[in-house]
A = this chain, B = another copy of it.
Amino acid sequence: MRWTFVNNNFTEAENAFIQTNDLALQRGYAVFDYFRTLNHQPLFLDDYLDRFFNSARELFITLNHTPQEVKAIILQLIQKNNIPQSGIRMIATGGYSPDSYTPVQGNFILQQQPLQLPDAVKFEDGIRIMTHPYQRDLPAVKSINYLMGIWLQKQLKEKGLDDVLYFQHNIISEFPRANIFIVTPDGRLATPAHNILAGITRKKILEFAGDILPTEVRDISVTELKQAPEVFMTSTTKRILPVTEIDGVRIGNGKAGAFTRQLYTQFLQQLEAVTVSGHNPF
């Protein structure tokens, strides 16, 4: 049996419902966040909780639980479901709005699912992507608005590509669900500064990458991107994944690059340390 948490109660996942008059369903108005567990331990939970509550605040969505309460519920959920490696989604909606437009007391949902991460082969081959001119609304907020990302899936499938990178006015920003980094020809690591969701994986990498190569958080043009010897995406479910082709242009030698591999190894060690050491990420 899989458990989901809705507002104040644990319920079977298949019986986890919200009324059809919720503002999430009526107007796409909700925020969420998504983190991993490894060996039954949530990774970087405080960072995800901070971002989740910040997203809610930015959209004037009120939660009926404090971050401390949500933490406690998450621990219960992990115990009840007993899935060693999982993704946990937190959602806070605009609520059952009488006028179908004004946010009211939100509905709060926690869902857990088994999670399969990319394997070593996928890492070596990397992914092939296209660019697309687009800017997400309120990018610093993790809202549920994925209209463009999902709509573009059909094009990606037809072209046999793995993902799409957004840019605007020739400056790249992010993937629908991931951040981007480049290694420059002179061996610096750069990632976009503006108009993005600040990923937790991105943050963790920026924290330790300085030991390996100089880091820069700044604007990156599409031109610079395509000439970069190494490019990779970062996200909770992908960790670090090389980008080996962009709009038909091969990046580097079409395989995972040396710096990318070094950063990946370092990040894997860090993840392992968090869980193996028994260090409590709370």
Contact = CB atoms under 8 A, between A and B. Distances in A.
Given A153-B102, A154-B60, A91 B147 contact: no
The residue in A16, A28, A146 that gathers the most chain B C-beta atoms within 10 A of its C-beta is A28
Interface string A135-146: 001100001111
Interface stretch (A18-26, A189-197, A198-206, A211-219): A18-26
A4 interface: yes
Interface residues on A, range: 35 or more
Given A28-B144, A145-B28, A147-B28, A111 B59 contact: no
A168 to B, nearest CB: 12
A147 B151 contact: no
B20 A16 contact: yes
B111 A144 contact: no
Contacts of A26: 32, 89, 91, 144
A146 B27 contact: yes
Contacts of A16: 19-21
B150 A101 contact: yes
A282 interface: no
A77 to B, nearest CB: 14
Contact of A14 (B19, B28, B103, B153): B19
A264 to B, nearest CB: 24
A24 B25 contact: yes
A150 B103 contact: yes
A126 interface: no
A17 interface: yes
Interface in A123-169: 134, 137-138, 143-151, 153-154
A38 interface: no
A191 to B, nearest CB: 24
A25 B91 contact: yes
Contact of A22 (B25, B27, B89): B25
25 contacts: A17-B19, A18-B18, A20-B109, A20-B111, A21-B111, A24-B25, A25-B109, A26-B32, A27-B147, A28-B28, A28-B143, A28-B145, A28-B147, A29-B146, A29-B147, A29-B150, A59-B147, A59-B150, A101-B146, A101-B153, A103-B150, A134-B137, A138-B147, A143-B147, A145-B147
Closest 4 CB pairs of A and B: A28-B28, A17-B17, A27-B146, A28-B144
